[in-house]
Structure 1
Amino acid sequence: MSHYEYVESFAGLPVFDFTPETGADGLPGAAEAAWRVRLDDFIEDFAPFQELFSRFLEAVDTTSVTALIVGNWGATHEVPAVRPLELLTGASERFPALKALFFGEWLQEETEISWIEQGDVTPLFTAFPGLETVVIRGGSGMELSPLDSPVLRELRLETGGLPGSVARALGASDLPALRSLELWLGVEEYGGDTTVDDLGPLLTGERLPALRHLGLQNAQIQDEIAAAAAGAPVVARLESLSLSMGVLTDEGAEALLSGRALTHLKRLDLHHHYLSDEMAERIRAALPDVELDLGDRQKDDWRYVAVAE
């Protein structure tokens, strides 16, 4: 999933765009598509999105909608995410079958990820207790209370800076069905003050018995995270691990190779890294049967994460 292009499928369904240009004819069945509701222009007002969402509720049998994507809701410097969040949660009874939600699918060409002012996203989970897949893009001002969901299977927070309080809330959550967790941690300049200590409860895996994929990505402190992951109990039962998109150097890779064995993994994603050729070869030699992504090697003269501003 990239913030440079729209997803074409979501939760196993093809995406259908519901925009101001969408007519009443030719709509797919409500349960046959992942519905993306978004404006298709740069509008410094929330009223057009309100009107669009109201029309969506009238045109589509939302009681059968299982997957929903909320995109462009009006210029992010004028319209904070709490406005569409309240609009959506206020209509929760209209979506009894909703299982997958992507909240904030803005492309980089539309707005920088750090400009998406999220606020408290907890109501998304409480208003839709049947959610199995959740993707939230944008972390500025994000708040989260500990979650309690017996059905949530996949959670992805895409940010240029993840507040440590959010990581701590996840560590205190009860998510027995969660199989995939991805956090884009970002940089301190854009609110990414998550520390390795904040991630500690997640790395033990004690409250995540079903977890099989863990992504701690896009981090300025990627070396520290790699070192912590090297000895983390949760890694022993993962099928895939991603430490990609961040400032991973030979120091972090050395710690990773010196820790718990990673040969049981099916996949290790380290793309967008600052590893030397020698270290990359050492990783390949140590993990001959693991699918590796060592692509997108960066020049070492200026180190940066893949997604920040």
Structure 2
Amino acid sequence: MTIGDHLDSLYGLPAYPFPHAKAPKDGLPEPDGHAWRIASDVYDSDEPWESAFARFCADVDTTRVRALIVGAWSDAYDSAPTAVVEALVAAKDRFPALRALFIGDMVMEECEISWIRQTDLTPLLAAFPRLEEFGARGGTELAFPALDHSSLRRLTLETGGLPAEVVRGVGASDLPALEHLDLWLGTPDYGGDSEVSDLEGILSGARLPRLRELALRNSEMQDAVAVAVAAAPVVARLEVLDLSMGVLTDDGATALLAGQPLTHLRKLDLHHHYLSEPVQERIRQTLATAGVEVDLDRADADEDEEDDGTVWRYVSVGE
């Protein structure tokens, strides 16, 4: 599966695409009622993203804007969004109400998730200390050195392969307000070179005192993640645990069931899995009957078998 739809909302606000240069400007909505999506064309663009952003700043009362979605920038498959980051940082004083920012909202026709080139995005968090939601799509060249941010409540990094340094950087960050963390770990084929040990800072929960929803998903090493989660201190305070979209087999699920109790959870999301029916039934009997909402939808969990008996299983979102 690949990404087929743009974000339809951010920060609880419906997404609204800022018109292209030649489109009519009449009837723009109220600045604070939508998450504004600003985009260029990936291929043969007539207007760089920075120019579209300059038009936006001229046409919209930016002091009232609460959420911004950065869509495609020119040659996103070949160019990191350095100029995008610089333009946003330079305009920080014009956005006193900004609370949510997402970088790289592109669908497969624009740029496959693992083709999107990223950069160090932490200058944006430094420039906007009152941000409550931050997200990005694409892991190639993504950097996230450890930082302190006292306001951030939701952090999402969607990738087909999340670099180990990024995983460690998130785990080493002091995020006292963070309630929701969603990491798509991906596969080594697309740069996901992390190991379970890289998750230690996250699973300890030491720097995440308010974390209530944890997603470590879309991973080729989902069994190993499940084993680590089974004994992780952070789990005791969670309401939602999401190990979906990856290559989770009976080994990982059995370890999860044998670990610390999970009956305190409100939801356990395991959709897109490779579990046998007996193990699925064990999960239902252990958790669903205790009132935990359990998602065991297999949906697009495909596997291929070679003539020699080798079985290939896939994460939900790779290329």
Give the TM bin, normalised by the shorter chain.
over 0.9
Quote the Cα distance in structure 2 between the aligned partners of 1:246 and 1:300: 12
Offset at residue 49 of structure 1 (A): 2.2
Query: Match for 2:295 among 293, 296, 299?
Result: 293
* Secondary structure of the corresponding residue to residue 216 of structure 2: strand
Paired position in structure 2 for 1:56: 56
State the aligned residue count. 307
Paired position in structure 1 for 2:253: 253
Paired position in structure 2 for 1:305: 315
Q: Is the 8 A contact 1:44 1:79 kept in 2?
A: no
Paired position in structure 2 for 1:13: 13
Offset at residue 296 of structure 1 (A): 2.1
Paired position in structure 1 for 2:309: none
Which aligned pairs between 1:55-134 and structure 2 lie closer than 5 A? 55-134=55-134
Q: Is the 8 A contact 2:19 2:25 kept in 1?
A: no
Quote the Cα distance in structure 2 between the aligned partners of 1:44 and 1:186: 30
* Secondary structure of the corresponding residue to residue 244 of structure 2: coil
Offset at residue 181 of structure 1 (A): 0.2
Quote the Cα distance in structure 1 between the aligned partners of 2:209 and 2:49: 40
Kindly report the root-mean-square deviation, in angstroms, between the aligned alpha carbons of the 2 structures. Answer: 1.5
Offset at residue 269 of structure 1 (A): 0.4
Paired position in structure 1 for 2:307: none
Task: Percent identity, please.
Answer: 52
The answer to whether the aligner puts 1:172 opposite 2:136 as a matched pair is no
What amino acid is aligned across from residue 110 of structure 1 in structure 2? E
Q: Is the 8 A contact 1:45 1:78 kept in 2?
A: no
Structure 1 portions without partners, runs of 5+: none
CA displacement 1:63-108 (0-9 Å, x = unmatched)? 1111000101123134322221222222222112110001110012
- Which contiguous aligned blocks of 4+ residues in structure 1 show a shift greater than 6 angstroms? none
The two structures have a TM-score, normalised by structure 1, of: 0.95
The two structures have a TM-score, normalised by structure 2, of: 0.92
Structure 2 portions without partners, runs of 5+: 305-311
What amino acid is aligned across from residue 131 of structure 1 in structure 2? L
**Stretch deviating more after TM superposition (290-299 or 97-106):** 290-299
Q: Is the 8 A contact 2:303 2:314 kept in 1?
A: no
What amino acid is aligned across from residue 127 of structure 1 in structure 2? A
* Secondary structure of the corresponding residue to residue 215 of structure 2: strand
